């Protein structure tokens, strides 16, 4: 299993306190990419020598305390220009070599970030499935043939798979939110214009915005702050008003919840249950809750593909489509060519109707501050999308495609998993420039659901779409490892090895004395500010939920089962040790990085 790259906050701590260098990190990134042959997540990557040289220059000339994204690896959707790299927009024959960086990319590089490469997408950013690319179809990190979502498919998967710490996508109809939902990560769709779209191949120029994928809300906001700025080359750019910089706290907010009759989950009972659970968690965080009708939102969303805005998609590509029709995928071409149905009269009628709908929605913000909706009403496999690529794409966009037409900001957050193992997600929406307020509530929600009563459902990410009895992941650190003396306690209860991982750098590992002289490893979590925290190697075992109680009954004191934070930000059940037991004669073996590494080193010394 490739080593996962940490979050921005984890890497920042490691640079400042753990001795990590940008060169070390670049080598880890390259190791994680080796053997993947680039696809279908990546369309092109920065040459290894170039990435290492950039990292070495950064280490020699910059201070991690002064650059907000010092040494943080990131990816860029391949409809955004990077100087010297080919921009394909998911169409090889369209590709061109970019003469300069898009302003949003340049600001990230100036903030110290390390660009790793350019990622796959639904061709010309037209689609929400991740299955419309000649470079191959991305699958969700949860496996089982589940779509990754699009159009920013590669960017979302690269982050969720731990290949980079954050990535840029774009979002016109939901492309920065649907892939986040289907891969269990954060999707930040800022207010249009906060991130420059200069140097971005347009999908629908008046609606496009650059989006951010990350594993943590605060990380996504760090990227937004570093990349934000008005560019002279971008007529659509807007500065953040000074009075909207500060966020309102969740407890002061009025939350809008859709009326029951406006919610549609397309027969997916699991998503219905998860959304209700997410709303319940939000109720405990906000000041007031009210009901909101969604009819005007949905009617606005329908204008995007059933109105003249589809002609705006064609406006940027009409010449290429006429000259190279065979270079464009059939499904993409069919969507774009519907734009020929509309004339100037239709455009003005559409604008007038949208203005009426926007006025209705604007009045709702007098009653609520934030609206919560499902990100997607249901999920699909790649085979299911192939059966009905346009109809099921429309289903995916029901709760997303109105946002830019109505000038809304949005943050998408994970909302656990259904009983069938499918990822669930919800999106918080607010009026333009409410980004920081939405982020505060999103962060509070993710923190609250980490300790929710239904934690097995909300916190444990399956490695594949589940079809059998409910299962959970258990992080094991010592004698329960494969081949160790107590591993049978897992295998006899139906446990199967899911892979290797590391904890977040917030733990110490101790060797506790035992009567048999073998020693017992004890994992103790330390404060986030403790500079002596370490990442510790663990194995992840998939275990039936029904077997967890029996396993716990056999765990000897001072060990117990608790929540272990992994390097990628997930929380899974795992073996922990109570702090009282780690005084002398317990030996601190954290520096070894894991129980097996400690045992090997001890054997070598003897």
- The pLDDT value recorded for residue 514 is 85
d(CA 490, CA 495): 5
Label the pairing between strands 288-292 and 254-258: parallel
What is the β-pairing status of strands 587-588 and 507-512? antiparallel
Q: What is the pLDDT of residues 558-588, one digit of tens each?
A: 888 888 888 777 778 888 998 888 888 889 9
DSSP state of 283: H
Q: Residues 50, 70: contact at Cβ < 8 Å?
A: no
pLDDT the model gives residue 79: 98
DSSP states of 357-410? HHHHHHHHTTT-SEEEEES-S---BHHHHHHSHHHHHHHHTTTTTTTTTTTEEE
Is 590 among the catalytic positions?
Answer: no
Q: Which of 77, 118, 165, 189 is catalytic?
A: 77
How many angstroms separate the CA atoms of 487 and 537, rounded? Answer: 16
151 belongs to the catalytic site: yes
Res 383: pLDDT = 96
pLDDT digits (tens, 9 = 90+) for 409-443: 999 999 999 888 899 999 999 999 999 999 999 99
- Highest-confidence range of 60-69, 163-172, 553-562, by mean pLDDT? 163-172
Is the pLDDT assigned to residue 457 strictly greater than 80?
no
At 193-208, the pLDDT tens digits run: 999 999 999 999 999 9
Look at residue 232 and tell me whether its pLDDT is greater than 50: yes
- pLDDT bin (cut points 50, 70, 90) of residue 466 is very low
What's the pLDDT at 398? 97
Of residues 139, 137, 207, the one with CA closest to residue 172: 207
Q: What is the C-alpha separation between 508 and 108, in angstroms, rounded? A: 34
> Residue 468: is its pLDDT beyond 60?
no
**Which residue is catalytic, options 148, 152, 175, 434?**
175
Range scoring the smallest mean pLDDT among 3-7, 38-42, 313-317, 459-463: 459-463
With DSSP H G I counted as helix, E B as strand and the rest as coil, what are the percentages for the chain, rounded to 5?
Answer: 35, 20, 40
pLDDT at 526: 85
Q: What is the pLDDT of residue 471?
A: 67
**Cα(327)–Cα(134) distance, integer angstroms:** 10
Pairing of strands 114-119, 42-45: antiparallel
> Which range has highest mean pLDDT (30-44, 61-75, 454-468, 518-532)?
61-75
Element (H, E) at 169: strand 166-171
30 contacts 188 by C-beta, under 8 angstroms: no
Contacts of 9 (CB under 8 A, 6+ apart): 216, 218, 219
For the segment 521-558, what is each residue's pLDDT rounded down to a tens digit?
A: 999 988 766 677 889 999 988 888 777 778 877 888 88
- Compute CA 482 distance to the chain's CA centroid, rounded to the nearest angstrom: 31
pLDDT tens-digit series, residues 26-56: 999 999 897 655 569 999 999 999 999 999 9
Q: What is the pLDDT of residues 247-297, one digit of tens each?
A: 889 999 999 999 999 999 999 999 999 999 999 999 999 999 999 999 999
pLDDT at 458 over 60: no
Encoding tokens for residue 508? 């110490």
Query: Regarding predicted confidence, which is higher, 156 or 557?
Result: 156
pTM of the entire predicted model: 0.78
Distances (CA, A) of 588 to 477, 507, 591: 14, 11, 8
| pLDDT tens-digit readout, 302-349 | 999 999 999 999 998 999 999 999 999 999 999 999 999 999 999 999
Task: Report the C-alpha gap between 436 and 427 in whole angstroms.
Answer: 14
**Catalytic: 175?**
yes
Confidence check: pLDDT of 464 > 80:
no
Tokens of 186: 């954060």
**476: nearest Cα among 434, 429, 523, 422:** 523
Rg (CA), the chain: 24
436-451, pLDDT tens digit by residue?
999 999 999 998 886 4
**Nearest Cα to Cα of residue 429 among 405, 396, 451, 458:** 405
Of the listed ranges 179-188, 467-476, 573-582, the least confidently predicted one is 467-476
pLDDT at 469 over 60: no
Under 8 Å CB-to-CB from 468, ≥6 apart: which residues? none
Instruction: Residue 524: name the closest of 546, 548, 506, 544 by CA.
Output: 506
Tokens of 521: 């490893």
**pLDDT for 245:** 76
Is 417 in a helix, a strand, or coil?
strand
Q: Write the pLDDT tens digit of every residue in 92-122.
A: 999 999 999 999 999 999 999 999 999 999 9
Which pLDDT score is estimated for 463? 42
Per-residue pLDDT at 454: 44
Could you tell me what percent of the chain has a pLDDT over 70? Answer: 94
> Count of H helices and E strands in the chain?
19, 21
Q: What is the mean pLDDT of the chain?
A: 90
* DSSP type of residue 135: T
Catalytic residue among 133, 151, 425, 434: 151
Per-residue pLDDT at 552: 79
Helix axes 330-337, 309-323, angle to 10 degrees: 130
């Amino acid at each position: 299993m490739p080593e996962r790259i940490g979050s921005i906050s984890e890497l920042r701590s490691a640079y400042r306190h753990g001795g990590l260098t940008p060169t070390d990190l670049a080598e880890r990134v390259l190791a994680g990419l080796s053997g993947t042959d680039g696809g279908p997540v990546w369309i092109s990557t920065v040459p290894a020598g170039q990435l290492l040289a950039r990292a070495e220059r950064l280490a020699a000339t910059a201070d991690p305390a002064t650059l907000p994204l010092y040494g943080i690896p990131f990816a860029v959707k391949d409809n955004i220009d990077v100087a010297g790299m080919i921009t394909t927009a998911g169409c090889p024959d369209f590709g061109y070599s970019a003469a300069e960086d898009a302003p949003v990319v340049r600001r990230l590089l100036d903030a110290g970030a390390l660009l790793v490469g350019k990622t796959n997408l639904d061709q010309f950013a037209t689609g929400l499935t991740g299955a419309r690319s000649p470079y191959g179809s991305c699958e969700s990190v949860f496996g089982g043939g589940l779509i990754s979502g699009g159009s920013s498919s590669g960017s979302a998967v690269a982050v969720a798979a731990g290949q980079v710490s954050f990535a840029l996508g774009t979002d016109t109809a939901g492309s920065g939110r649907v892939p986040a939902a289907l891969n269990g990560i954060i999707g930040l769709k800022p207010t249009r214009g906060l991130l420059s779209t200069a140097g971005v191949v347009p999908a629908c120029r008046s609606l496009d915005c650059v989006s951010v994928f990350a594993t943590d809300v605060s990380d996504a906001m760090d990227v937004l702050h570093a990349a934000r700025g008005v560019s002279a080359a971008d007529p659509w750019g807007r500065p953040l008003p000074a009075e909207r910089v500060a966020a309102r706290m969740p407890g002061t907010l009025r939350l809008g919840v859709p009326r029951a009759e406006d919610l549609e989950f397309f027969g997916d009972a699991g998503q219905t249950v998860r959304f209700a659970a997410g709303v319940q968690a939000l109720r405990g965080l906000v000041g007031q809750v009210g009901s909101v009708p969604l009819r005007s939102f949905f009617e606005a969303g329908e204008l995007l593909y059933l109105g003249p805005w589809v002609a705006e998609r064609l406006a940027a590509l009409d010449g290429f489509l006429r000259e190279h029709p065979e270079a464009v995928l059939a499904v993409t071409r069919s969507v774009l060519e519907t734009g020929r149905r509309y004339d100037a009269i239709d455009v003005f009628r559409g604008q007038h109707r949208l203005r009426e709908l926007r006025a209705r929605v604007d009045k709702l913000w007098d009653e609520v501050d934030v609206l919560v909706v499902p990100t997607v009403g249901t999920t699909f496999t790649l085979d299911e999308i192939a059966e009905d690529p346009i109809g099921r794409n429309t289903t995916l966009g029901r709760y997303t495609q109105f946002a830019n037409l109505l000038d809304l900001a949005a943050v998408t957050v994970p909302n656990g998993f259904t009983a069938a193992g499918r990822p669930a997600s919800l999106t918080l929406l607010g009026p333009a420039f409410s980004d920081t307020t939405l982020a505060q509530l999103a962060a509070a929600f993710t923190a609250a659901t980490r300790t929710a009563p239904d934690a097995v459902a909300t916190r444990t990410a399956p490695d594949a779409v589940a079809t059998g009895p409910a299962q959970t992941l258990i992080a094991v650190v010592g004698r329960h490892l494969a081949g160790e003396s107590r591993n049978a306690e897992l295998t006899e209860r139906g446990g199967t090895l899911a892979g290797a991982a590391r904890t977040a750098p917030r733990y110490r590992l101790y060797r506790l004395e035992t009567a048999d002289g073998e020693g017992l490893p004890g994992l103790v979590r330390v404060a986030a500010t403790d500079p002596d925290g370490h990442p510790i190697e663990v194995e992840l075992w998939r275990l039936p939920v029904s077997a967890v109680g029996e396993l716990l009954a056999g765990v000897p004191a001072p060990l117990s089962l608790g929540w272990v934070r992994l390097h990628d930000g997930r929380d899974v059940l795992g073996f922990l040790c109570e702090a009282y037991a780690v005084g002398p004669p317990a030996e601190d073996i954290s520096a070894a990085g894991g129980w097996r590494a400690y045992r090997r080193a001890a054997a070598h010394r003897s």
